[in-house]
Structure formats: C-alpha cells, structure tokens
Amino acid sequence: MDHLNYCPTCFELSLSLSSKGVIFVYINGLKLQNGHFLFNLEKQTRQELSQTILLKIEECLKWHAKLKNPRPIKDISIVSDDFICENNSSHLIGKKISVMEYFFEPDNYYRSIKLLCEKLSLPFSLEIS
C-alpha cells in the first residue's frame, strides 16, 4: 500500500493499512450494528473494495432514509484500526483511522456519496475535510 497515515502513537507519517482487517462505516458519528465488514487485500483489489465500501455506505444510508425526519448527512467516515506502523508502534488497536484515501480520490468519494444521498432523497450537507 503506497498511502501513509500519521501514526497516533509516534506521530510520524509511518502508518499503512494492514492487508486484512475490518472496515467500519460511521454516518454522522453513528455506526449501525452491521456497519462493518472484513477486507482482505490479498484476495480483493482496491477497486473491488471501493465498490464494497460504497455498497455498505448505501446500506447504512438506506437505514437513515427510513427514519422519521432524518438528520442531514454531514459526515461519513470509513475507518479501521488494522494498521501497521513502520516504527513498530504498539497500542494501535482501537484507534480508528480513516481509510478513505486508500480507496478513493476525495472528490470522487464525495461525489459518489452525494449521488447516493440524492438517490435516497436524503438531505445532506457534507463537509469536505
């Protein structure tokens, strides 16, 4: 994996995604009971996984669309705590870090989510971070 993240333990740009683990989807800071899935980069391409992520986001958005007066979709995070630090930092478990940039160009990611919200008639006010 070529993308590196800042390590929350040693504060260096030394963190890369593990080849296997779990990705969690949070919408407006909330995670649905089934808002996560296993990934395995030895068996799935990044392209395949980006599709899986969008399907999972759609599933979670559908749930939000069924709520009475759904709150506008402001924030969708895709995170994992399955990372490896080049400096061998420990205590990474439980520290969830965004995996968005491993699978999407930020512009494409927000455009895809906007389209999903429109398709489901969900109000949204996405903040691009």
Are 60 and 32 in contact by the 8 Å Cβ rule? The answer is: yes
Burial of 27 (0-12, 13-18, 19+ CB in 10 A): buried
Are 32 and 64 in contact by the 8 Å Cβ rule? The answer is: no
Instruction: Give me the least distance between CB of 31 and Zn ion, in Å please.
Output: 25
* Residue range at the interface with Zn ion (CB under 5 A); choices 8-16, 26-34, 98-106, 117-125: 8-16
Show the site string, 30-59: x = touches Zn ion by CB under 5 A, - = not. Answer: ------------------------------
Nearer to Zn ion, 80 or 89 (CB): 89
Q: Which of 4, 5, 10, 71 binds Zn ion (CB under 5 A)?
A: 10
Are 77 and 26 in contact by the 8 Å Cβ rule? The answer is: yes
Show the site string, 97-126: x = touches Zn ion by CB under 5 A, - = not. Answer: ------------------------------
* CB neighbour list of residue 22: distance below 8 Å, 6 or more residues apart: 36, 37, 38, 39, 80, 81, 82
Is 60 a binding residue for Zn ion by CB under 5 A? The answer is: no
User: How large is the angle between the packed helices 106-119 and 46-65, nearest 10 degrees?
Assistant: 40
Nearer to Zn ion, 57 or 85 (CB): 85
Contact positions vs Zn ion (CB under 5 A)? 7, 9-10, 85, 87, 89
